Amino acid sequence: MRRLRLKNRDGVSFEESISDDWVKESDVFERPIDLKFPFYVGIFVVLICLLALGRISFLAADARFYKARASANLSHIQRIPAPRGLIVDYKGQVLADNKPVFLALLDVNEFLSKLDFKEGTVKATEEILGVPEEDFWKMVEENGKKAFNEVLVLNNDLDQNQLVKLETLNLPTIQISNGFGRTYEDGKIFAPILGYTGVVSESDLEDFPELGGGDFVGKTGLEVFYESHLRGSPGVAIKIRDAKGNIIEEKEKVKPGIGKELKLTVNAGFQKYFYNRLQAGLDDLGRTVGLGLAIDPRDGRVLSMVNIPSYDNNIFTSLGRREEVAKLLTSPSRPLFNRVVGGLYAPGSTIKPLHAVAALEEKVVESERKVFSPGYLDIANPYNPDQPSRFLDWQYQGWVDMYSALAQSSNVYFYTVGGGAPARSLGETVYEGPRITGLGIKRLNDWWK
């Protein structure tokens, strides 16, 4: 349909005439629209679109990261500790075993990110777990400096009362985990042999990067020497959470595997007998320090190793026994020092068989060559001729060759073979035949090494 435009005699349309009259009556006027304004608006809209596209492209490039982050927020992966391998004596008697325990773990990331729960967490660890506030903050501070643990072990053996109280609080910063604690049969008797386990440290993680902050590793003795053999493979549990972080489902993805058994040559019955007899002997003498080592001479197997004073290695398997540990560390009798393995002692008569082999190999003497032992050996003193240096034997033995010298443990014979001696010593005939020059200090040192 065509629109009719009516015009007056002057050629003005009807609409234009109405518009002019309205403008005159309303005191308004018309002006052309400025094109700069829509131009700038258009540029602004284009820039916004470009920024949005750029951000979308950036997020798309890291899509795998954000997908993984979303998955992490949805689920929480938790390590399941594995029981360590048993340690048994040569008959199979268990010396180091495992017991199921509950652990209280501090989730460091949750603790540092959720400020609303900090005060409640510190209060719970002090009142329920017995960890002083000062010690708690030291643990967190040290962990922050090292930055190696996602979780900190607050207690590794919760009792029923502690467990109920912590579960009632339902703090997201404290995790309750199943685990295994190490227990030792007759700990005080076997501690110098077995050693003990403890919470993983920064140096442990450097040696074993596959470990986690809540794991326990060997610290001393056979526990640390055979760490790789005894340590089991941890399991993995996945906890599904809702948007508020509440756990709605838990499932085990990988089951933990127990470590390998370690069978010793030690005789547990003999170890207990040896320890008790040595302790009784020391008590009779009024002494406090003694040690003993029994080795099978046929093959070198260690049958028993006793160290007195000793300590109960079960103390170190529980974090709640800090005072007892502190007493051991500061004790002047040094019960943690393994004197059998770490002490330095004069070898005594155990060196004689080595001297005998050296003398034969170096052709210093023949095995039949005899030396006279009156129970001592006098060596002239050039500074005081009237006061010779006397080296005692443990008894009079008379003429001895290498066989009888070893059988009777003759000091004079091995003094002569080792250091040499003149044919006569202050009127006493020491030996017959050519002079024995002895091995000398250099050759002795070479053989000792």
Q: Encoding tokens for residue 288?
A: 């406090």
Q: Give the whole-angstrom CA distance, residue 377 versus residue 394.
A: 11
Question: What are the pLDDT digits (tens) for 201-249?
Answer: 777 777 777 777 667 889 999 999 999 999 988 877 776 666 555 666 6
Q: Encoding tokens for residue 260?
A: 């390998």
Amino acid at 210: E
The segment with the largest mean pLDDT, out of 100-109, 150-159, 169-178, 405-414, is 405-414
pLDDT at 196: 93
pLDDT at 257: 86
pLDDT at 294: 96
Which residue has better confidence, 134 or 222? 222
Confidence of residue 180 (pLDDT cuts 50, 70, 90): confident
Q: Give the whole-angstrom CA distance, residue 336 versus residue 338.
A: 6
pLDDT at 73: 52
What totals of helices (H) and strands (E) does the chain contain, helices first? 18, 18
Confidence of residue 267 (pLDDT cuts 50, 70, 90): very high
Instruction: Classify 363 in phi/psi space as left (phi over 0), alpha (psi -120 to 50) or beta.
Output: left
- Inter-residue contact 279 to 242 (CB < 8 Å): no
Beta bridge partners of 76: 239
Question: What are the pLDDT digits (tens) for 235-248?
Answer: 777 766 665 556 66
> What is the chain's mean pLDDT, rounded?
82
In this model, does residue 1 exceed pLDDT 60?
A: no
pLDDT at 249: 64
Q: Give the whole-angstrom CA distance, residue 62 versus residue 56.
A: 10
pLDDT-wise least confident of 38-42, 123-127, 164-168: 38-42
Q: Which DSSP category does 173 fall into?
A: T
- Inter-residue contact 214 to 77 (CB < 8 Å): no
pLDDT-wise least confident of 153-162, 255-264, 427-436: 427-436
In this model, does residue 75 exceed pLDDT 60?
A: no
pLDDT at 269: 96
Cα dihedral: 227, 229, 230, 234 (round 10): 90
- Distance of CA 3 to CAs 6, 114, 127, 449, Å? 10, 73, 92, 123
Confidence of residue 2 (pLDDT cuts 50, 70, 90): very low
Query: What is the helix (H) or strand (E) element at residue 198, kind and residue range?
Result: strand 197-199
- Compute φ and ψ for 412, nearest 5 degrees: -60, -40
3-state secondary structure of 149: coil
Q: Give the global pTM.
A: 0.65
In this model, does residue 301 exceed pLDDT 90?
A: yes
Confidence of residue 155 (pLDDT cuts 50, 70, 90): confident
Of 399, 59, 87, nearest to 227 by C-alpha is 87
Q: Give the whole-angstrom CA distance, residue 314 versus residue 304.
A: 20
pLDDT-wise least confident of 106-115, 247-256, 367-376, 383-392: 247-256
In this model, does residue 429 exceed pLDDT 90?
A: no
pLDDT-wise least confident of 76-85, 229-238, 252-261, 378-387: 76-85
How does DSSP assign 202-250, residue by residue?
HHHHHH-TT--TT-EEE-SHHHHHTHHHH--B-EEEEEEE-TTS-EEEE
Which residue has better confidence, 310 or 175? 310
Amino acid at 384: N
Q: Give the whole-angstrom CA distance, residue 221 versus residue 182.
A: 14
